[in-house]
Amino acid sequence: MQDFDYDLFVIGGGSGGVRAARMAAQRGVRVALAESGALGGTCVNVGCIPKKLYSYAAHFAEGFEQAAGFGWNVGEATLDWARLKTNRATEITRLNGIYNNLLVNAGVTLLHGWATLVDPHTVAVDGKTFNAKHILVVTGGKPLVPDVPGREHVITSDDIFDLHPFPKRLVVVGGGYIASEFASIFNGLGAKVTQLYRGEQVLRGFDDDVRSFVANEMQKAGVDLRVNADVKGVAKLPVGLEVTLTDGTTLMADAVLYATGRGPKVSNIGLEAAGVALSKDAAIMVNEDYQTSVPSIYALGDVTDRVQLTPVALGEAMVLVDHLFGDGKRKMGYDFIPTAVFTHPSIGTVGYTEAEARKHFGQVTVFRTDFKPLKHTLSGSNERTLMKLLVDTATDRVVGLHMVGPEAGEIVQGFAVAMKAGATKAVFDSTIGIHPTAAEEFVTMRTPVSA
């Protein structure tokens, strides 16, 4: 019987990798984790956390303006971009340290270096080799930039947090959640933002009412959102970057952010040498137990390109550890996964879109309302909130819940629990609302708009 250096070797120190390594080590198995960059992966370093911090920062400008309606006299406010960047970096460094301590205190051997697969049981880290009974690949994803002329002049979401100087004119290319979030954020921070999307409407894959509603709200807030618009090329001029569109029009910008998708980070990690099969989109192919084509090698999270969300990677990691070192009873459910988009206003959603629900269930009863929140009766803002429920008519089960408005993610998280448990519209109707809140609308909608 072969004697391995480790029971589990984890390649990648993002959310999924750290969770798997720590949970496995706490079960008493020998675990090593290799990471060449900062611990925490995309989410901690250039994703969810800094993005949410910048979203908070962007909301202060409108908060200062709206304070007057509530009796406050606020003087001129200016953004210290350098201070924001410094404070964000300090917080991220703190989180990196927490991740390090979690691993070390759990007994994980932490290796700082680039790891590559040598064979089904061997990993090389900067010239040193280690063997393991099981290997987990959790290298995450990376931004993708199409081969557009002048692509060397554009930036991705990995670069946006430390731009110098602050871009007074920002062009955002893309219509997904990352593009829409940064368009909202930098608009709130004071940049003149133009968002370009080649499709009919932003946020493909979300409910159509949500898509059109949030697009309209973003435009009201000042984002120059242009759909059916694509980039022909980017040129660097003495006065900035010239963006030429396919219709011949041009835009001038201080920075051009491409947020046109992300792909699995699979280059130069030895997958081919180990015999790991990839999909046509270069994602690692896995079975229901996250096992690759090589029985001893596993993968989860963004590198498998299933659901690109940090909490999903965390859940998958827990399932895998239980499968390898526990009783194997823990399962991962991919239905009713709640998510939020930190546009201004934000989006919270769980379950099916209306189009998906009608395709899956047949007859669907739709409840929808939009309104001016109580806060804005005095704030002077014309921002509105949208709420929508989708009910499977045959069973009365609520199968879709969508919101556009302040703190949508915070509100939807609680409803996601109810929906995961199979709550019906009758249960919603019998629940007492908290007054006055926006959230109570979800339990007071009585009249369907369509069926």
Write the CB contacts of 213 (distance below 8 Å, at least 6 apart in sequence). Answer: 370, 384, 386, 404
Distance CA 400, CA 412 (A): 11
**In this structure, are residues 105 and 18 in contact, taking their beta carbons and an 8 Å threshold?**
no
For residue 204, the 8-state DSSP code is: T
Angle, CA 379 vertex, CA 376 and CA 383 arms, to 5°: 45
Cβ neighbours of 349 (radius 10 Å): 25
**In this structure, are residues 199 and 175 in contact, taking their beta carbons and an 8 Å threshold?**
yes
What are the backbone dihedrals phi and psi of residue 311, each rounded to the nearest 5 degrees, phi first?
-60, -25
What are the structure tokens assigned to 308, written together?
């690109």
Distance CA 8, CA 147 (A): 39
For residue 155, the 8-state DSSP code is: B
Strand partners, 234: 243
Beta strand segments in 93-188, E: 109-112, 115-119, 122-125, 128-137, 141-143, 169-173
Distance CA 158, CA 11 (A): 21
Specify the residue for token string 């009783």.
Answer: 327
Question: Which amino acids are annotated catalytic?
Answer: 435
Distance CA 402, CA 298 (A): 34
Cβ neighbours of 26 (radius 10 Å): 15
Which residue, 240, 262, 263, 238, is CA-closest to 250? 240
Beta strand segments in 278-412, E: 297-299, 339-341, 347-351, 364-371, 385-392, 398-404
What are the structure tokens assigned to 144, written together?
């993708």
Distance CA 339, CA 149 (A): 34
DSSP H helices in 81-142: 81-106
